[in-house]
Amino acid sequence: MTDGLSNFDLVGDIHGHADALKELLSDMGYIRHGRGYRRQNRKVIFVGDFVDQGQDAS
C-alpha cells in the first residue's frame, strides 16, 4: 500500500540553472515532451527559488 506521496518528486532552489534542471529531470526518469518533461505515474513539484540568479535567470 502506498501513502499517496510516493508519486511525487520534490525539487528546490533551481536559481535559473536550466541545464542542470534538465539533466536532473532526465536522471530522475523524466522524458522530454513538447516544452516540458513527463514521467508516467509521477509528478515533480518545484519548491524554493526558481529564477533569481544563474545564467538562465533572465
pLDDT of residue 52: 62
pLDDT exceeds cutoff 70 at 2: no
Residues 54 and 16: beta-carbon distance below 8 Å: yes
The DSSP output letter for 6 is: T
Q: How far apart are CA 6 and CA 15, in angstroms?
A: 25
pLDDT of residue 1: 46
Residues 49 and 14: beta-carbon distance below 8 Å: yes
pLDDT exceeds cutoff 50 at 34: yes
Q: How far apart are CA 28 and CA 53, in angstroms?
A: 24
| Count of domains for the chain | 1
Domain of residue 53 covers 1-58
